[in-house]
Structure 1
Amino acid sequence: MRELVFLLEEESAAAMLKTLLPRMLNPGITPRYMPFEGKQDLEKQLPKRLKGYLNPNARFIVLRDQDRDADCKALKARLATMCAEAGRCATSSVRIACRELEAFYLADLEAVGRALGIPNLDRHQRAARFRSPDTVVSPSSELAKLCKQVGYKKVGDSRKIGAVLSIDNERSPSFRNLLGAIRRHERELLALPDSS
């Protein structure tokens, strides 16, 4: 079985991916989601989970928020080292959401408005801070302010937003990099013989 396995900091990332991926992933690839209880839990369990995964036709994407880590490249390198130590260097990609998963949503306020039933939310996209959402210090706080009339619910709304989030949106480089990793691993998996 060809599997694309996501090791995720939290459940909201899984909720978003579960509704985003059916629109972009080849049906011959099975996505698997491993949400953790935050970044410490992810980093503690990552090597063991990667080593213990038995399917040779699996590829892995580790997705973690940057949060307050000042050096995104050092964070990514540390997680990549964990993948390498687990023997999964060639089959894994590490992606960092700058600063939080919600930056992906701030990059596509039209989708957020549509998903959550907030008319004209996309008019805020012209504001300087939302043109480059990866630079927003606290994307979840900004999103909560924009969605105050409906109340932003991290997991439930991530599921709704993922269903309509544009896969062609270029405003968030970290989102673009995540989609690039998904597409690259999809190509690798489709090139493998199916052993199901």
Structure 2
Amino acid sequence: MTELVFFLEEPSAKAMLEGVVPRLLDDSINVRYVVFEGKQDLEKRLPRRLRGWQNPHARFLVMRDQDSGDCYEIKGKLAGICDRAGRPDALIRIACHELESFYLGDLNAVAATIGPQKLAKQQNNAKYRDPDRLNNAAQELKRIAKTYQKLSGSRAIGPVLSLDENQSQSFNQLIGGIKRLAGVQP
């Protein structure tokens, strides 16, 4: 059985992926989520977890937020960690700038789950057409969807995020990467 292992910076990423991944993959793929306590914890403990993974056929995806860092430097650092741990084929995905950029890329999903309903009409506003450019996606989401909470919001929004029409390019890269790792045709 194929095993796909996600190494994640925070619980909200797991909550979102638990709503997204089952819509992409069938039951023949065993999915595991390893959640760390922030990006420093992820970077510190990732090498040991990769080296100690027992299934030699497992495929790995490491995901973290860009926050205020340089996307290419972060990706390079994580790729180096994976390479030194003997897993150079691990896929690295960075949420530009934050996980909430994924949600701002699909305001229909936000409107349908946590509201308000009028949010869906704002998707064509310039800032939501390319939400990865927003440095403060979490603040922006909280501003327009007042009930948004990181963990419960991720749990609610994940299952209804569009897998095809999200305006966040980093989300689209994540979806494409999951499909490639799992051998699913895009």
TM-score, length of structure 2 as denominator length: 0.96
Q: Are the counterparts in 2 of residues 16 and 161 from structure 1 also a CA contact under 8 Å?
A: yes
Q: Which residue of 2 aligns with 1:166?
A: 162
Corresponding residue SS for 1:48: helix
Return 5+ residue gaps in structure 1 as ranges.
191-196
Q: 1:56-81 CA distances to partner (integer Å, 9 max, x unpaired)? A: 12100000100010x21111011001
- Alpha-carbon offset, residue 118 of structure 1: 2.1
1:18 alignment partner AA: E
2:135 alignment partner AA: V
Match of 2:180 among 179, 184, 191: 184
Q: Are the counterparts in 1 of residues 130 and 168 from structure 2 also a CA contact under 8 Å?
A: yes
Indicate the RMSD between aligned Cα atoms, in angstroms.
1.3
Q: Percent identity?
A: 50
**CA distance in 2 between partners of 1:49 and 1:108 (Å):** 33
- Alpha-carbon offset, residue 127 of structure 1: 1.5
Aligned residues: 185
Q: Are the counterparts in 2 of residues 26 and 186 from structure 1 also a CA contact under 8 Å?
A: no
Corresponding residue SS for 2:183: helix
Q: For 1:113-128, what aligned pairs fall within 5 Å after superposition?
A: 113-128=111-126
Q: Which residue of 2 aligns with 1:47?
A: 47
Q: Which residue of 1 aligns with 2:78?
A: 79
Match of 1:154 among 126, 150, 163: 150
Q: 1:133 to 1:142 in 2, by over 3 A?
A: same
**CA distance in 2 between partners of 1:50 and 1:175 (Å):** 24
Q: For 1:129-144, what aligned pairs fall within 5 Å after superposition?
A: 129-144=127-142
Return 5+ residue gaps in structure 2 as ranges.
none
**CA distance in 2 between partners of 1:25 and 1:172 (Å):** 21
- Alpha-carbon offset, residue 170 of structure 1: 4.2
- Alpha-carbon offset, residue 117 of structure 1: 3.9
TM-score, length of structure 1 as denominator length: 0.91
